[in-house]
Structures are given as structure tokens and as C-alpha cells.
């Protein structure tokens, strides 16, 4: 008979790949005792934490979600400088959070995960990693839980254009940008008009002697998210010291403000459903607004303003983008590219243009395929399986992968608002299952066969009625026009949060630490709660 108190969590080792928002949120759960008796290791391939905000340093890089919603709810920040903040300020916030809440102790930088294998006999994962940038033997480490928090905005890709190696000038990708690159007075090209390209264009136009933007698809430049909180006629709102002081002294007032802004983002979700009044209003307003801003170059109106629904491609506020395209020092070149040259780019019409700097804002591989082999039960390689079909459950769990979680996998709320609060809800979900393993003598959980496919069937059927599936080239369809909508959650953001609150334990098979039937309930332990036998003045024995 066990001498431990009932509900005593057994010690588990957890390895996490990635120290971005997801890794930090899980570390906070361990640090604050939401998860107890956990040996947590977070391996980060970069030299610093922050994930996408550490890696993305291109000119104009910023978040288009209002700053007071783009934070951890457990780390409010009344000191944000403005309503929308730039990448450096977000990275500074994340670093401050890691210091304030003592989260760095869990993070090992420059440690890159390169594979993982589930060992059924041991009921453990073997995680393989290397020291990034160095040669040496692979490091193999066992753990009870393996979590992939590496994100989906990091597998960046060059444009599929011939002779890239021939170019002798400065060529940078927006996701691997060197801030030391000097654009002032230079001939600059930007390839792409996704969210990164839009931001880079607006910033580069102010510095370059001449800017050329290569575009092959129309896109909506929408009004700012939460724009009703910004004074009329302005694109940004800067908070003065007096406002910050009020929020610091009155946390409830600050919370009320954050909730009002979030409410504004959540209630706009019906816009993404095809043929709704909200969609019609958004399309009418956005087209009129874009045409007005492009009035000085009317030839751009027919090229840049789409006819598909607003939201089919990611809605991007793009502050200053259309104004940059209309500037005297900016040209827009439409269509495919033929090749790179020694001095620049040759477009499909045969014309060659010379550039000092080329910025490729050509996006990421958003297929959700793991970057390294993950071998689960029965020898299943998730990398190969998701190459064929990325079927996922609650965006967090894959079939044949015991004791494995992924943050923001297929079926995530990536188009639904702030991802940080979504990440927090996923952490709560992950913690709940880990606690069950710790407290009820289970060594592993595994999704039942067919559950991921059933979930996916419901997901794709529901998404059929959204504008995300309309005919447009979208990063959410991994750069295709008619690809499957594997990226999105099948419902609103609030719907996703409520789903994660449900305890659907019946969707899993559970392996007991005691295979003998007579020991199924050995986890009752000594039959007492801890406060019954240990002095605890706060405990209520009634």
C-alpha cells in the first residue's frame, strides 16, 4: 500500500521544443505550481527566446493585433507604447516576462531538437538534439512527455525563381533579415505582398532612393483591427505617461479596457462566413477605402483590389502600404518573375531591373509537417503521416503519438484573433491531461484510432462555408489557390476555448502503471488527503 497522500502527483519529465510564446506559457504553469513535480526542459534552437519575434527583424515588422490583447493574461503590460507595437517591443516584453517570472531557468538556448522516438517498453520518449551551430555527437534524452512548440512561422522559403545564386547584390529573406542592411539611398526590391511584404514595403519606401515591388496576387488592405479605439483620421494611438499611470494604479480599469478591445475582435468573426451581412459590409468598405488611397495611380486599382471575399487571404491593415505604392519613388511590377540576374531581377515580360538590395518576403512552409522525424507507436512517423494528411485533434494531439502534444497544429485559431490567449487555453488543456497521468497512475495516453480523422471531417465540412476556402492564393492554404483548409479551427475563437474546456477522456486509450487488474485503483494511495494528516491552517476539513 502506498504511503503517499491521495492526489500526490508523481514526478514526470517534460521536454519542449521551442521557447516562443507557447514554451514560455507552459514554463509559467510549472513555475507557478499549476503543474507540480515536473522536471521541465525547453530546448530553443536560437540564441535567445521569443520565437517568431526573435527571428523576424525586417523593416516595419510589427503585430497588427492591438498590443493590449497581444500579451499573456498573467503578465499584463500597461506600459505598451502604442495601440500597435513593433517587433522589438514585443521581444522586449517577452524577455521581461521571462525574467520577472523566473522562466529562463527552464530554457536551454542553442539546443536544436532533430528527432524523437516513443519507446513503448519504457513508456518514454527519446528526444534527440544537437548544440546549434556546432559539430558533435547527438544528445539523446528520455522524457515522459514531449511537446512540439516550435511554431509554424519559422520554416521560411525562398521564391521559386531561377538563378538566385547568380545575384551579386544583397539578398535577404524577411524571416532571416539582417538589421545591419542599409536601405537608405539604395535601389530596393520587395518580392511579395503578404503581411511581411506589406510591412517591409511601407518601411523601405521611406528609406530607398527607389523601390520596386513585385506582386502577383491582389490582396485586401483592411482597416486596422480594433480601429474604433483610435481617434478618427489616425492610424496609430500612442499612450502617454498619464494614461499608463492610470492603468497601473487602477488594474480593474485596465482589465476593462483590454476586455473591450478583445470583444471588438471576437464579435467580428461572422465576417469570415460566406454571404453574411458582415462580409458584405467589410468588402464594400474595404474596396472603397483602397480605391480612394490608390486614386493617384488608378492603374493599380484594377490590379491590387481583389474580387474575392475579404478574409480569403489574411486581412492585413498594412498601415502606409498603399501610400507607399503611390509614392513617386515606387514602381509596382505585376506578374511572375523569370529569374535573378547578377545585378537584379528579370521579370516575365523580359525586362531586367537592377537593385542594390532585394528583400524576399515570400513566406513560410505552412504545411504543419514536423521539421524532424517524430516516431510514435507502431513505428508511425508523424512527419511522413502529416505529409500525406495532417489530421489532428483539437489542434494539439496526433494519432499514434502517445504523450505528445503540439501547440497550434492543424485546425488552430490562426485567423481568429490574438494567438497568445489561444496558446494559454491550449496550455490549460495540456496541463489537465498531464495532471491525470500524474495523479491516476497512467503512464501514457493515446488518441483512439479514427478520432483524428473524424475530427478532421467535421472541421473541413464546417470550414466549407467560410471565405477562407474561396479562390485566392493564401498562406493559410500553404501558398495554393485551392488547397485544403488544414490551418483553421472549425468555429469561432470562443467556440475553440469552450471545446478545450471539455474533458473528452473517452477519446483516448490510457495505459496504467500497474497492469495487474487488482491494482487498477492503487492510485487511491494512503486513503487520506494531505491536509487531513498534515497541519494546514487554511484547509477546511468540512
pLDDT at 507 (0 to 100):
98
Total domains, the chain? 2
Residues 206 and 307 grouped into a single domain: yes
Tell me what percent of the residues of the chain surpass a pLDDT of 70. Answer: 100
Residues 320 and 387 grouped into a single domain: no
169, 356 Cβ separation under 8 angstroms: yes
pLDDT at 250 (0 to 100):
98
* Domain final residue, candidates 360, 382, 407: 360
Residue 536 lies in a domain: no
- Helix, strand or coil, per DSSP, at residue 171: strand
In angstroms, the CA 398 to CA 422 distance is: 19
Residues 338 and 376 grouped into a single domain: no
For the chain, the straight-line distance linking the first and the last C-alpha, in angstroms and rounded, comes to 26
pLDDT at 68 (0 to 100):
96
Residues 243 and 307 grouped into a single domain: yes
In angstroms, the CA 51 to CA 510 distance is: 33
Residue 535 lies in a domain: no
Residues 355 and 402 grouped into a single domain: no
pLDDT at 297 (0 to 100):
95
pLDDT at 379 (0 to 100):
96
Average pLDDT rounded to a whole number, residues 423-430: 98
430, 279 Cβ separation under 8 angstroms: no
Pick the range with the lowest mean pLDDT from 156-160, 293-297, 507-511.
156-160
Pick the range with the lowest mean pLDDT from 82-91, 129-138, 274-283, 420-429.
129-138
pLDDT at 453 (0 to 100):
98
pLDDT at 231 (0 to 100):
86
DSSP letter at 293 equals H
Tell me the pLDDT tens digit for each residue of 228-283: 898 887 888 999 999 999 999 999 999 999 999 999 999 999 999 999 999 999 99
Residue 466 lies in a domain: no
Q: List the grid coordinates of 44.
A: 530553443
Mind spelling out the 3-state secondary structure of 118-162? EECCCCEEEEEEEECCCCCCCEEEEECEEEECCCCCCCECCCCCE
Residues 394 and 421 grouped into a single domain: yes
In angstroms, the CA 64 to CA 67 distance is: 8
pLDDT at 474 (0 to 100):
85
Residues 370 and 355 grouped into a single domain: no
Phi, psi (deg, nearest 5) at residue 270? -55, -15
Contacts 24+ apart (CB under 8 A), 533-538: 533/5
Whether 327 shows a pLDDT value over 90: the answer reads yes
Whether 541 shows a pLDDT value over 90: the answer reads no
Residue 81 lies in a domain: yes
pLDDT at 134 (0 to 100):
82
Residues 91 and 236 grouped into a single domain: no
Helices (H), 161-294: 195-205, 241-249, 251-266, 277-293
Q: List the grid coordinates of 419.
A: 494567438
Average pLDDT of every residue of the chain: 94
* Domain final residue, candidates 331, 360, 389: 360
Residue 337 lies in a domain: yes
Tell me the pLDDT tens digit for each residue of 370-391: 999 999 999 999 999 999 999 9
Q: List the grid coordinates of 149.
A: 512548440
> Which helix (H) or strand (E) covers residue 321, if one does?
helix 321-325
pLDDT at 539 (0 to 100):
86
Residues 59 and 146 grouped into a single domain: yes
Task: Tell me the residue range of the domain where 279 lies.
Answer: 164-255+270-360
In angstroms, the CA 269 to CA 278 distance is: 9
pLDDT at 521 (0 to 100):
94
Average pLDDT rounded to a whole number, residues 403-424: 95
* Domain final residue, candidates 325, 360, 395: 360
Residues 331 and 416 grouped into a single domain: no
115, 128 Cβ separation under 8 angstroms: yes
Residue 172 lies in a domain: yes
pLDDT band at 154 (very low <50, low <70, confident <90, very high): confident
Tell me what percent of the residues of the chain surpass a pLDDT of 90. Answer: 84
DSSP letter at 9 equals P
pLDDT at 519 (0 to 100):
93
In angstroms, the CA 311 to CA 468 distance is: 6
Strand partners, 125: 118, 143
pLDDT at 428 (0 to 100):
98
Residue 471 lies in a domain: no
Whether 224 shows a pLDDT value over 80: the answer reads no
Whether 106 shows a pLDDT value over 90: the answer reads yes
110, 133 Cβ separation under 8 angstroms: yes
Q: List the grid coordinates of 509.
A: 486509450
pLDDT band at 135 (very low <50, low <70, confident <90, very high): confident
Strands 344-347, 337-340: parallel, antiparallel or unpaired by DSSP?
A: antiparallel
Whether 1 shows a pLDDT value over 90: the answer reads no
pLDDT at 317 (0 to 100):
84
| Angle formed at CA 45 by CA 44 and CA 50, multiple of 5 degrees | 55
Residues 112 and 92 grouped into a single domain: yes
Can you give the CATH number for the domain in which 104 is found? 3.50.50.60
In angstroms, the CA 110 to CA 242 distance is: 41
Tell me the pLDDT tens digit for each residue of 308-321: 999 998 888 888 99
Tell me the pLDDT tens digit for each residue of 467-508: 999 999 888 887 788 889 999 999 999 999 999 999 999 999
For residue 120, the Cα-to-chain-centroid distance in whole angstroms is 31
Residues 227 and 346 grouped into a single domain: yes
Strand partners, 236: none
Residue 456 lies in a domain: no
Amino acid at each position: 500500500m502506498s504511503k503517499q497522500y491521495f492526489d500526490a502527483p508523481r514526478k514526470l519529465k517534460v521536454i519542449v521544443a521551442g521557447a516562443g510564446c507557447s514554451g514560455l506559457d507552459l514554463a509559467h504553469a510549472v513555475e507557478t505550481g499549476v503543474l507540480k513535480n515536473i522536471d521541465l526542459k525547453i530546448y530553443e534552437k536560437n540564441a535567445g527566446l521569443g520565437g517568431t519575434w526573435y527571428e523576424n527583424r525586417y523593416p516595419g515588422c510589427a503585430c497588427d493585433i492591438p498590443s493590449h490583447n497581444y500579451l499573456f493574461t498573467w503578465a499584463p503590460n500597461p506600459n505598451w507604447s502604442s495601440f500597435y507595437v513593433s517587433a522589438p517591443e514585443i521581444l522586449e516584453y517577452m524577455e521581461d516576462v521571462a525574467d520577472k517570472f523566473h522562466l529562463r531557468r527552464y530554457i536551454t538556448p542553442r539546443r536544436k531538437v532533430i528527432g524523437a522516438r516513443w519507446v513503448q517498453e519504457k513508456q518514454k520518449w527519446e528526444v534527440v538534439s544537437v548544440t546549434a551551430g556546432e559539430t558533435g555527437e547527438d544528445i539523446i534524452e528520455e522524457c515522459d512527455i514531449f511537446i512540439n512548440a516550435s511554431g509554424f512561422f519559422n520554416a521560411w522559403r525562398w521564391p521559386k525563381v531561377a538563378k538566385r545564386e547568380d545575384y551579386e547584390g544583397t539578398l535577404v529573406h524577411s524571416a532571416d533579415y539582417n538589421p545591419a542592411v542599409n536601405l537608405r539611398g539604395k535601389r530596393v526590391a520587395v518580392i511579395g505582398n503578404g503581411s511581411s511584404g506589406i510591412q517591409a514595403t511601407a518601411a523601405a519606401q521611406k528609406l530607398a532612393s527607389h523601390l520596386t515591388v513585385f506582386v502577383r496576387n491582389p490582396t485586401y488592405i483592411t482597416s486596422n483591427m480594433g480601429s474604433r479605439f483610435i481617434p478618427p483620421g489616425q492610424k496609430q494611438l500612442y499612450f502617454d505617461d498619464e494614461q499608463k499611470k492610470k492603468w497601473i494604479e487602477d488594474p480593474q480599469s485596465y482589465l476593462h479596457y483590454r476586455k473591450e478591445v478583445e470583444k471588438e475582435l471576437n464579435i467580428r468573426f461572422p465576417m469570415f462566413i460566406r454571404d453574411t451581412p458582415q462580409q458584405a459590409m467589410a468588402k464594400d468598405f474595404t474596396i472603397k477605402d483602397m480605391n480612394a488611397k490608390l486614386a493617384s495611380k488608378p492603374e493599380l486599382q484594377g490590379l491590387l483590389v481583389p474580387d474575392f471575399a475579404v478574409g480569403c487571404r489574411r486581412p492585413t491593415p498594412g498601415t502606409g502600404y498603399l501610400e507607399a505604392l503611390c509614392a513617386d519613388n515606387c514602381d509596382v511590377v505585376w506578374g511572375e518573375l523569370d529569374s535573378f540576374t547578377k545585378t537584379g531581377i528579370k521579370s516575365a515580360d523580359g525586362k531586367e531591373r537592377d537593385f542594390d538590395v532585394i528583400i524576399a518576403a515570400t513566406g513560410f512552409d505552412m504545411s504543419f509537417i514536423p521539421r524532424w522525424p517524430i516516431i510514435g507507436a507502431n513505428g508511425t512517423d508523424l512527419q511522413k503521416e502529416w505529409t500525406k494528411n495532417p489530421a489532428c485533434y483539437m489542434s494539439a494531439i496526433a494519432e499514434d503519438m502517445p504523450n505528445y502534444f503540439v501547440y497550434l497544429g492543424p485546425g488552430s485559431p490562426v485567423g481568429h484573433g490574438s494567438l497568445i490567449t489561444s496558446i494559454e487555453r491550449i496550455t490549460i488543456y495540456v496541463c489537465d491531461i498531464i495532471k491525470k497521468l500524474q495523479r491516476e497512475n497512467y503512464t501514457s495516453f493515446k488518441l483512439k484510432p479514427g478520432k483524428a480523422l473524424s475530427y478532421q471531417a467535421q472541421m473541413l465540412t464546417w470550414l466549407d462555408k467560410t471565405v477562407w476556402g474561396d479562390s485566392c492564393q493564401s498562406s493559410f492554404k500553404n501558398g495554393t489557390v485551392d488547397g485544403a483548409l488544414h490551418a483553421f479551427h472549425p468555429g469561432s475563437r470562443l467556440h475553440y476555448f469552450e471545446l478545450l474546456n471539455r474533458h473528452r477522456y473517452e477519446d483516448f486509450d490510457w495505459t496504467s502503471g500497474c497492469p495487474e487488474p487488482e491494482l487498477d485503483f492503487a492510485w487511491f494511495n494512503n486513503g487520506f488527503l494531505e491536509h487531513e494528516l498534515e497541519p494546514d491552517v487554511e484547509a477546511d476539513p468540512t
